[in-house]
């Protein structure tokens, strides 16, 4: 199978010379691939990640949800999530908040420690099903994505 650049849609491409040389997400083959993102943080604009690990999870997942929406998907279409944490002591608090965002069933997930130059305690990356209008060929049945999930 040959993949053409036209088969891949890029969302949130970085500015030339950006310190973050990656796009926010890409869509290809009926899937959305979201790069790792922590909760937004821009104190000059009054945007803060959160005071607790749970706050950061909530804000980071809201950010991921916004990227997924732009790419034609949603959190309830996530099939695989990566949770990156800086401190294993935050694991339980992060999990307690995380499960609240997937009431239809938890996607596959792995967790790893990360140490990028940031003050974030948690970040997420994911793979999700693209929405019906973005699925190649508009496959039948793609719209009912939660009925097969089990808690």
> In the structure encoding, which two tokens stand for residue 113, read together?
């420690």
The answer to whether the beta carbons of residues 67 and 37 sit under 8 Å apart is yes
Q: Give the pLDDT confidence score for residue 141 in this predicted structure.
A: 33
For 79, other C-beta atoms within 10 Å of its C-beta total: 14
Between β-strands 78-85 and 31-38, what pairing exists: parallel, antiparallel or unpaired? unpaired
The pLDDT of residue 144: 35
pLDDT of residue 132: 64
Full-model pTM: 0.81
At residue 115, the pLDDT reads 77
| 104 Cβ contact list (under 8 Å, min separation 6) | 76, 146, 149
Please report the domains of the chain, with CATH numbers, ordered by start residue.
5-12+23-134 (3.30.1330.40)
Check residue 147 and give its pLDDT: 34
The series of mean pLDDT values per 10 residues for the chain, 151 residues long, is 74 86 94 94 88 96 97 97 95 97 96 84 96 44 35 36
pLDDT at residue 16, rounded to an integer: 86
What burial class does residue 120 get, using C-beta atoms within 10 Å of its C-beta: 0-12 exposed, 13-18 middle, 19+ buried?
buried
């Amino acid at each position: 199978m040959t993949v053409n650049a036209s088969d891949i849609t890029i969302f949130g491409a970085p500015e030339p010379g950006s310190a973050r040389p990656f796009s926010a997400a890409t869509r290809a083959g009926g899937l959305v691939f979201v790069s790792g993102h922590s909760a937004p943080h821009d104190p000059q604009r009054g945007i803060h990640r959160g005071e607790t690990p749970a706050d950061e999870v909530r804000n980071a997942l809201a950010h991921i949800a916004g990227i997924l929406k732009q790419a034609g998907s949603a959190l309830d279409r996530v099939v695989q999530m990566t949770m990156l944490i800086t401190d294993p002591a935050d694991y339980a608090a992060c999990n307690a908040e995380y499960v609240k965002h997937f009431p239809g069933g938890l996607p596959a997930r792995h967790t790893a420690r990360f140490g990028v130059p940031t003050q974030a305690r948690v970040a997420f990356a994911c793979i999700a099903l693209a929405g019906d209008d973005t699925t190649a060929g508009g496959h039948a049945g793609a719209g009912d994505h939660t009925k097969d999930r089990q808690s």
